[in-house]
Structure 1
Amino acid sequence: MEKCAPVLSACMQRMKGIQDALDILNGKWKIRIMAALTFGPKRFVDLQMIIEGIGPKMLSKELQLLELNGLVRREVVDNKPVGVNYVITEYGLTLETVIKELSHWGNTHRIQVMGKV
């Protein structure tokens, strides 16, 4: 049993990391918001248009949570009328590889199951 301890410890550590990530990115919207922002700053209405099915109340809530966790920041744009852009932070960009891999896997799975992209 002692020989299993390092493997068990590594497994448990991996599970803790996955749980922490899921706690931050849970739900059906946060990863989509982050994915949209990897392509550059977006206005609120742009995010609503890109992320099909999300309502303004939910988008606002999710953006606030992402901002609270340091993944997204609001930038006030000084024009008439004053606007707000949402920008992925440097810390948020550390998720870009995960988001790309998730997208790649999802597209591959779609082809596997449905035979089309």
Structure 2
Amino acid sequence: MENQTMPDEGINMHEEMRRAFALLSGKWKLEIMWLLNQRVYRFGELRKAIPGITQHMLTAQLRELEADGLVSRTVFAEVPPRVEYAITPKARGLGPTLEALTTWWNEYGKSVPAKPSTRGRKPRGS
């Protein structure tokens, strides 16, 4: 496949798509975005909803997503402090992509061999 350049604009779409993929690359970012596309989560809820993720890795991934403008973090001045994470309006634009991935998985997911998880913390009860 050759690099596509948008006529009259000099935009290399291959490079632009690499930038887009980099925003969501990593083991956990898509899963975080998929969850946040459904509703607002608190940090502890996200950690429980993602088996195998460590507190350190969840914090790092959320910080990267926030820095890229895909996730917003709201701190409430309460005791104990409450922090909520939500996807931004910019990230809402990924909703159709996440829905298409869900549709694809519902059709073809059973044909994909399951891989054992070898990284991250063990889910509770294991």
Q: What TM-score comes out, normalization by structure 1 length?
A: 0.80
Pairwise CA distance, 1:84? 0.3
Matches within 5 A, 1:17-36: 17-36=16-35
SS of alignment partner, residue 81 of structure 1: coil
**Deviation readout 1:39-79 (Å, 9 max, x if unpaired):** 11101110011111111000000000000000001101233
Retained in 1: the 8 A contact 2:4–2:14?
A: no
Q: In the alignment, which residue of structure 2 is the partner of 1:49?
A: 48
Higher helix share: 1
Distance 1:85 1:13, change over 3 A: same
For these two proteins, the number of residue pairs brought into alignment is 108
Unaligned runs of 5+ in 2: 114-126
Stretches of 4+ aligned residues off by more than 2 angstroms: 7-10, 12-18, 77-80, 111-114
Worse overlay, 34-43 or 77-86 = 77-86
Distance 1:52 1:108, change over 3 A: same
Q: What TM-score comes out, normalization by structure 2 length?
A: 0.75
Pairwise CA distance, 1:18? 2.4
CA distance in 1, matches of 2:28, 2:4: 33
CA RMSD between the two structures = 2.3
Unaligned runs of 5+ in 1: 1-6
Pairwise CA distance, 1:33? 0.4
Name the aligned partner's letter for residue 97 of structure 2.
V
Pairwise CA distance, 1:101? 1.1
CA distance in 2, matches of 1:106, 1:18: 22
Name the aligned partner's letter for residue 78 of structure 1.
A
Q: In the alignment, which residue of structure 1 is the partner of 2:69?
A: 70
CA distance in 2, matches of 1:14, 1:25: 17
Distance 1:113 1:87, change over 3 A: closer
Name the aligned partner's letter for residue 76 of structure 2.
V
Pairwise CA distance, 1:113? 4.7
Sequence identity percentage: 33
Pairwise CA distance, 1:97? 1.0
